[in-house]
Amino acid sequence: MMAYDFKKMEEKLNFLASHFEFEMTSLRTGRATPALLENVRVEVYGSANQLKNVASIVVEDAKTLLVQPWDKGLMETISKAIETSNIGVQPVVAKDSIRISLPSLTEERRKALVKILKEKTEEAKISLRKARDEVWRDIQEKEKAKTISEDEKFRFKEEMEKKIKHGGEKLDEIAAKKEREIME
């Protein structure tokens, strides 16, 4: 009896969950967090960079972020990038920093954020299904090549489905936690 190596698939599922969780940090909940701005794309030095690579982002208080560019000549560029990002904040340029005051989330904005959350969750689940399809194809090819029996094929399929179900539950858990944060 042969064992199927699900290691690659498990690595993909773990990466997918951690990537999804990281992506969720950029969705605004109501508290100021540097993750809201870290991935804003800023056009500097002839290429697009993440804001975290050209400035420090500090939480000043529960509703305020302070962006301090390392090159003070980038103040306007960074301010425009923050303004045009889809975060819904208005940057205020001071002498050597940019202050972002986060307004309270309206019910309408909360619902829009939940909608974005659901879209991102569905994208992650699509990736999950692609990983499942890859493994299932591989298992079927092994059976056609007679390296595994038909019984083993179905046993491996069952094991694969359990792992995929667990991965989907993990994504749902992350999404539900973020939805609670948004709606609070």
CATH, residue 168: 1.10.132.20
pLDDT-based confidence at 156, cuts 50/70/90?
A: very high
Question: Does residue 114 share a domain with residue 96?
Answer: no
Helix, strand or coil, per DSSP, at residue 177: helix
What pLDDT is attached to residue 167? 93
Q: What pLDDT digit, counting tens, does each position of 19-38 carry?
A: 888 888 767 666 777 777 87
- Is 2 domain-assigned? no
In this prediction, residue 14 carries a pLDDT of 92
85 falls within a domain: yes
Which pLDDT score is estimated for 30? Answer: 65
Q: How far apart are the first and last CA of the chain?
A: 52
Domain total of the chain: 2
> What's the token pair of residue 67?
């962006």
Domain boundary among 77, 101, 125: 101
Final residue belonging to a domain, choices 53, 77, 101: 101
The neighbour count for residue 24, using CB atoms within 10 Å, is 21
Domain stops at, among 101, 116, 136: 101
Task: Assign 61 to helix, strand or coil.
Answer: strand
Q: Residue 5 has what pLDDT?
A: 84
Q: What is the average per-residue pLDDT within 86-95? A: 80
Is the domain of 140 the same as that of 178?
Answer: yes
Q: Do 97 and 114 fall into the same domain?
A: no
Question: DSSP label at 95?
Answer: S
Edge-to-edge strand ranges of the sheet holding 91-93: 55-61, 64-69, 98-101, 91-93
The arithmetic mean of pLDDT across residues 83-112, rounded, is 82
> Do 161 and 110 reside in the same domain of the chain?
yes
**Residue 67 domain boundaries:** 31-101
One domain for residues 110 and 97: no
* pLDDT value at 101 more than 70: yes
CATH number at residue 41: 3.30.1360.40
The whole-chain average pLDDT of the chain stands at 86
Q: How far is CA 138 from CA 102, 129, 167, in A?
A: 49, 14, 19
pLDDT in tens, 121-137: 999 999 999 999 999 99
Indicate if the pLDDT at residue 50 is higher than 70: yes
Residue with token string 């190596």: 5
Q: What is the DSSP letter of 174?
A: H
Contacts of 142 (CB under 8 A, 6+ apart): 4, 148, 153
